[in-house]
A and B are shown apart, each in its own frame.
Chain A
Amino acid sequence: MPTINYILKDGSTRAVDAPAGLSVMEAAIRANIRGIDAECGGCCSCATCHVYVDEAFLDRLPPADDMEQELLEGVAAERRPTSRLSCQLPMSAELDGIIITVPATQA
């Protein structure tokens, strides 16, 4: 099963196994990763599942669509070139080992 490495706000890392198809947001919620709120439940409406994706994995992800791009403009923490909404990132074997950094705030 692919693994996601979440870097938390305190700098520690948690490795979480995530079956293919589960989103990076859903995997975080199930594993009780703090700092990914996902208030809308993953329907790309609220921008509270914002994360930074390690550059090495960026081009393996589906590109952000218009809705996601627009919502990223409204994220609470700093928007960076590596910013994504984790509800829009389905896991796959190709993403095994992906490094996801939780931002300072979601609200």
Chain B
Amino acid sequence: MNARAALLIAGASYAGLQLAASARNLGFEGRIVMVGDEALPPYQRPPLSKGLLTGKSTVESLPVKSEAFYSESGIELLLGRRVAALAPERQQVTLDDGSSLEYDWLALTTGARCRPLPVPGAGLAGVLEVRTVDDALRLDAAAGGAHRACIIGGGFIGLEVAAALAGRGLDVTVVEALPRLLARAVTPQMSAFVEDLHRRNGVGFAFGQAVSALHGDNGKVCAVELASGERIDCDLVVVGIGVIPNTGLAEAAGIACANGILTDGLGQTSAPRVLAAGDCAAFPNPYAPDPARPIRLESIQAANDLARAAASLLVGAPQPYASVPWFWSDQYDAKLQMAGLMAADDEVVVRGDPASGRFTVFCLRNGRMAAVHTASRPAEHMLGRKLVAAGASATAAQLADESFDLKSLLA
């Protein structure tokens, strides 16, 4: 292939795609090549832990864009290939097939990989993770013949998988090392609601428990052993204990990394003409409790919005990242939506009755709206994003009063 790209993108998921699409929308005219190590063009990942396991989604419905998008936009996809090495001083990369490409701009959108479970038995058959479409299809197939599933990790992925498998009639237990679910993302009130939701759907829990080993029978997993010595019999294990950013390429090239490739609000790394965005990137977020400290946000919103900022730099009209973080999770019939980033010492106010299944948790920091978490109240989520963006002032009494008009806080 022609050996130079105006924009070379390493990693073909949300961030890479958004960067390419935004660059084109903003009038970037040079050659764009996007390299991805999976077989599919950029595809939707949320259904992997939900619809793809319940039959609501199919692989055919996953691609984010049509083939026509790539041809009409002039974005070349190089799939089944990986960038193996990077020489920023020569503005050149080497692919895993040994070929090399020069670039004017390079974007590292290499994503993250599942954190492996560091215990004996983690390599047994029937121990799965969910990151890629292949992972999800493997899990779907394994669930078909399984009866008892143990989910290790009570985060969003683990809980979505738990909901999907419980819905398929499996007996499901979730093991969580901390005393409550989703502890880093939501307040105890929302954790309690989610736990209750799962219990009502037959899911069991083991809290505050580390996993010490997985046991197998003829090479296939048959039990999870907890640090307490308790054993949970199972024929399927799904590990969802977080991810590790794919920083190897950047680190080997001497680019600054610290739990992620460090960037500014335009996605610029420590190397000239090298950008990063998506799950692999850590950048200072204006809505974080500490706005100066680089953080990684594993969400489609963060991937898209930092990619948009990076694209603006490419066309010489830089617009740094300024978006309110938001993400969502669908479990059973509950729609959980989170706007803003909470801190452990925020003042927490609940609006509505969690027992009704529809309520909102507000997090105030110094009297201003820092985060809004809703359960099946999408209007308050949408409003919540605006309240967080505005840093709206509010009192606990106002927020807890259902007759109080929240929109008046924006005035």
**Interfacial residues, chain A to chain B (CB-CB below 8 A):** 26, 29-32, 39-41, 43-47, 67, 70-71, 73-74
When the two chains form the complex, which single residue of A31, A32, A39, A71 contacts B382, counting CB atoms closer than 8 Å? A71
Q: List the 10 closest A-B pairs by CB distance, nearest first.
A: A74-B382, A70-B379, A30-B66, A41-B44, A32-B69, A70-B378, A45-B328, A71-B378, A73-B379, A32-B68
Give the shortest distance, in Å, between A24 (CB) and chain B (any CB).
14
Complex: A43 Cα to B378 Cα, angstroms: 12
Question: Could you list 11 A-B pairs, sorted by A, with CB under 8 Å?
Answer: A26-B61, A30-B66, A31-B66, A31-B68, A32-B68, A40-B46, A41-B47, A41-B300, A43-B328, A47-B382, A67-B335
Provide the residues of chain B in CB contact with A32, threshold 8 Å: 65-66, 68-69, 72-73
B328 touches A70 (CB 8 A): no
Provide the residues of chain A in CB contact with B82, threshold 8 Å: none
Q: Is the interface of B mostly helix, strand, loop or mixed?
A: helix
Complex: A31 Cα to B383 Cα, angstroms: 31
A41 touches B378 (CB 8 A): no
Complex: A43 Cα to B46 Cα, angstroms: 9
B68 touches A67 (CB 8 A): no
Give the shortest distance, in Å, between A71 (CB) and chain B (any CB).
5
Complex: A39 Cα to B377 Cα, angstroms: 19
Give the shortest distance, in Å, between A80 (CB) and chain B (any CB).
17
A45 touches B68 (CB 8 A): no
Provide the residues of chain B in CB contact with A46, threshold 8 Å: 328
Provide the residues of chain A in CB contact with B328, threshold 8 Å: 40, 43, 45-46
Provide the residues of chain A in CB contact with B64, threshold 8 Å: 29, 41
Give the shortest distance, in Å, between A78 (CB) and chain B (any CB).
15
| Given A32-B69, A41-B47, A44-B378; 13 other pairs, CB 8 A cutoff | A29-B64, A32-B73, A40-B328, A41-B64, A43-B46, A43-B328, A70-B377, A70-B378, A71-B378, A73-B383, A74-B378, A74-B381, A74-B385
Give the shortest distance, in Å, between B385 (CB) and chain A (any CB).
8
* B interface residues, tally (CB under 8 Å): 26
Q: Which A-chain residue is minimally distant from B336 (CB atoms)?
A: A45
Q: Which A-chain residue is minimally distant from B374 (CB atoms)?
A: A70
The number of residue pairs between A and B whose CB atoms lie closer than 8 Å in the complex comes to 56
B304 within 8 A of A: yes
A29 touches B382 (CB 8 A): no
B378-390 CB contact bits vs A (8 Å, 1 = yes)?
1101110100000
Give the shortest distance, in Å, between B153 (CB) and chain A (any CB).
22
Complex: A68 Cα to B227 Cα, angstroms: 45
Complex: A41 Cα to B65 Cα, angstroms: 11
Complex: A61 Cα to B64 Cα, angstroms: 25
Complex: A42 Cα to B57 Cα, angstroms: 11
Complex: A44 Cα to B379 Cα, angstroms: 12
Provide the residues of chain A in CB contact with B73, threshold 8 Å: 32
Within 8 A of A (CB), among B31-47: 44, 46-47
Q: Which B-chain residue is minimally distant from A43 (CB atoms)?
A: B330
Complex: A26 Cα to B376 Cα, angstroms: 24
Provide the residues of chain A in CB contact with B377, threshold 8 Å: 70
A39 touches B69 (CB 8 A): no
Q: Which B-chain residue is minimally distant from A45 (CB atoms)?
A: B328
Give the shortest distance, in Å, between B312 (CB) and chain A (any CB).
14
B376 touches A74 (CB 8 A): no
Provide the residues of chain A in CB contact with B301, threshold 8 Å: 39
B285 within 8 A of A: no
Complex: A49 Cα to B73 Cα, angstroms: 20
Taking A32-B66, A40-B300 as contacts, is the C-beta distance between A73 and B46 under 8 angstroms? no
B6-50 CB contact bits vs A (8 Å, 1 = yes)?
000000000000000000000000000000000000001011000
When the two chains form the complex, which single residue of A39, A41, A45 contacts B337, counting CB atoms closer than 8 Å? A45
Complex: A40 Cα to B382 Cα, angstroms: 13
Complex: A70 Cα to B358 Cα, angstroms: 13
A73 touches B382 (CB 8 A): yes
Give the shortest distance, in Å, between B93 (CB) and chain A (any CB).
28
Complex: A67 Cα to B383 Cα, angstroms: 14
Give the shortest distance, in Å, between B46 (CB) and chain A (any CB).
6
Complex: A29 Cα to B65 Cα, angstroms: 6
Provide the residues of chain A in CB contact with B385, threshold 8 Å: 74
Complex: A70 Cα to B328 Cα, angstroms: 16
Q: Which A-chain residue is minimally distant from B407 (CB atoms)?
A: A73
Complex: A9 Cα to B145 Cα, angstroms: 50
Taking A29-B66, A43-B330, A45-B378 as contacts, is the C-beta distance between A74 and B383 under 8 angstroms? yes
Complex: A73 Cα to B407 Cα, angstroms: 11
Provide the residues of chain B in CB contact with A71, threshold 8 Å: 378-379, 382
B376 touches A67 (CB 8 A): yes
Provide the residues of chain B in CB contact with A40, threshold 8 Å: 46, 300, 328
A45 touches B335 (CB 8 A): yes
Complex: A41 Cα to B330 Cα, angstroms: 13
